[in-house]
Amino acid sequence: MSVAVPDGPTAGAIDDSIEADVAAGAGDPSVLIGDAGSEAARVAVSVPRVDDAPETQGIGWPHRHLLDLDVVTWPEIELVMRTTDAMKEVLARPIPKVPALRGRAVTILFYEASTRTRVSFEVAAKNLSADVVNIAAATSSVTKGESLIDTVRTVEALGADLLVIRHGTSGAPYLAAQHFGGGVLNGGDGWHAHPTQALLDLYTMRARLPGRSLAGRKVVILGDVMHSRVARSNIWALTAAGADLWLCGPSTLLRGFDAWAKAGATAGRTFTVTSDVADALRDADVVMALRVQQERMEGGLLPSLREYAARYGLTRARLANAKPDALVMHPGPMNEGVEIAPDVATMDRSVITDQVSNGVAVRMALLYLMAGVRTGAAASGASAALGPAGTNEAPA
Ligand code: CP
């Protein structure tokens, strides 16, 4: 299968077969199923009654694992959005809690630092009445040399039904999915994917845009695209939503994305790649600045942070090119004064704190939907952990 995933660290250090899985899913336009204008997109989405346990309802969510959005169709994304609406209603109650996941165990296993994703998954699981275990790799037996596979098997033996994992190596959640009997949610892997972030970004945009639609809206992702798993997952989400997506940054931080754009175009998933920031921001409806990931930066990609801020930082002057009411976004954590000016991050049309708070509702929706997927005797082993044709769908 040809691959159009821009360069990034691969999972080779973990397992070559996982690298192949990542590549197969992450760049092949043939796996793109839904788009916002299609007949499928108009299919009515049946929203679950989220006060009740998911297994008591016929929910049309087929994915046992959520590893990236490349295999998630537009109607399925719509289901996540509508289920998130229902979770927002729960969160507005005096006691923002439902018993839906009572008796289910969610383990949160993070090998990389996180505030938003880790905490919001924990809050989300507790709001659903699940039992929650947090494991930070730095204080676990990982420090004694335990492998990822052994850790996953141990977590399963300790009773986990759902596993949320963040890892610095692209593809690690795919490996975990092959060895875990329940469902795996990718909380961010290397440069590769951050699907729950992309879904909460999409939810936040829809909540603020007229008609709750991204169709034809110009969305600009600005900055260190190359190192950004958020950008990669947002490419899948935003092209599915029909947005006019632009990626903008220094050419050294856009390497490989032109090829992806060309490959995506053949499947009707177009986006524009440019280093011209004024052109990108002109008449934009949404501008999302990305963190300059200094910890992933090799020498020579940027002359200096100062020069980056001067040429690509999101300032009021630059934002003046966008529509007057253009939304300002950032997935966080922010380097204020580098990729985004402090006064832009806090201006009225900034929805950065909305992104954080919507993260709880989106993750409640995803935990709920995934808890409703039949895994059948914990899917009876690793061979069933990935669905047909290497997808992450539940085995029939
Ligand atoms: N956006 C995001 O993933 O933030 P954290 O690293 O704090 O989880």
Ligand 1 lined by 188 (C-beta under 6 Å): yes
Ligand 1 center to residue 117 CA distance, Å?
Answer: 5
Considering only CA atoms, which residue is closest to atom 3 of ligand 1? 117
Give the gyration radius of the chain's Cα atoms.
20
CA of 137 to the centre of ligand 1 (A): 16
CA distance 287 to 270: 18
- Domain over 197-355 is classified CATH 3.40.50.1370: yes
Residue 331 Cβ inside 6 Å of ligand 1? The answer reads yes
Buried b (16+ CB within 10 A) or exposed e, 13-52: ebbeebbbbbbbbbbbbebbbbbbebeebeeebebbebee
Tens digit of each residue's pLDDT, the chain (396 residues): 333 334 333 333 333 333 333 333 333 322 333 344 444 444 456 889 999 999 998 888 999 999 999 999 999 999 999 999 999 999 999 999 999 999 999 999 999 999 999 999 999 999 999 999 999 988 888 888 899 999 999 999 999 999 999 999 999 999 999 999 999 999 999 999 999 999 999 999 999 999 999 999 999 999 999 999 999 999 999 999 999 999 999 999 999 999 999 998 878 889 999 999 999 999 999 999 999 987 776 767 887 889 999 999 999 999 999 999 999 999 999 999 999 999 999 999 999 999 999 999 999 999 999 999 976 433 333 333 333 333 455 433
The answer to whether the CB of 114 is under 6 A from ligand 1 is: yes
The domain locations on the chain are 11-194+356-376, 197-355
Please tell me the predicted confidence (pLDDT) of residue 12. 33
Opening angle at CA 137, ends 236 and 352, nearest 5 = 40
Question: Residue 37's pLDDT is what?
Answer: 44
Residue matched to tokens 């940027």: 302
Sign of CA dihedral 371, 376, 380, 385: negative
56 lines ligand 1 (CB under 6 A): no
* Token code pair at residue 198: 């992309």
Q: Output b/e per residue, 324-340; b: 16+ Cβ within 10 A.
A: eebbbbbbbebbeebbb
Q: Look at residue 46 in the predicted model and tell me its pLDDT.
A: 80
Which fold does the domain 11-194+356-376 belong to in CATH? Rossmann fold (3.40.50)
CA-closest residue to ligand 1 atom 6: 114
What pLDDT does 375 receive? 65
Nearest Cα residue to atom 5 of ligand 1: 114
- pLDDT of 68: 98
Q: Residue 114 corresponds to which amino acid?
A: S
Beta partners for residue 365, in sequence order:
none
Long-range contacts of 206-210 (CB under 8 A, 24+ apart): 206/81, 207/354, 207/358, 208/327, 208/351, 208/354, 209/285, 209/286, 209/327
Q: Quick one: which of 333, 250, 342, 254 has its CA closest to 295?
A: 333
* pTM for the whole structure: 0.86
Ligand 1 center to 330 CA (angstroms): 10
